[in-house]
């Protein structure tokens, strides 16, 4: 009866996997940047709004990056909170802003 050294067998399997990963090129992991948060009270002609929607978009984009319905969160009351996703690494993910973008 022949016994197999499991440690050696594991190393023999690990070598081809490691070689395949190295040959496939550099793998990169992208960590998401923290959101940029706008919050406050929406005003129109100096009067606080209690209903409606607040949205933000980039100047060159017709799509909103974030929107918030006033009064939708009882913890916030009539204020708004807009969480803007940020991406500072190329290629840029769609629907994200970059530092220096105009809103």
**pLDDT: is 35 or 27 the higher one?**
35
Per-residue pLDDT tens over the stretch 6-22: 565 555 556 666 666 55
| Domain-wise residue ranges, the chain | 28-103
- Mean of the per-residue pLDDT values for the chain? 82
Report phi then psi at 31, rounded to 5.
-90, 135
pLDDT band at 4; cut points 50, 70, 90: low
Per-residue pLDDT tens over the stretch 42-87: 999 999 999 999 999 998 888 999 999 999 999 999 999 999 999 9
Nearest to 91 by CA among 30, 26, 47: 30
Any residues with CB less than 8 A from the CB of 73 and at least 6 apart, and which?
A: 81
């Amino acid at each position: 009866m022949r016994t197999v050294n499991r440690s050696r067998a594991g190393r023999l399997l690990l070598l081809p996997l490691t070689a395949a990963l190295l040959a496939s090129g550099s793998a990169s992991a992208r960590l998401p940047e923290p959101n940029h948060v706008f919050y406050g009270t929406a005003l129109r002609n100096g009067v606080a709004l209690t209903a409606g929607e607040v949205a933000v978009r980039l100047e060159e984009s017709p799509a909103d990056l974030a929107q918030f319905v006033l009064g939708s969160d009882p913890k916030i009351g009539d204020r708004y909170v807009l969480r803007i996703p940020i991406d500072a690494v190329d290629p840029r993910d769609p629907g994200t802003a970059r530092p220096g973008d105009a809103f």
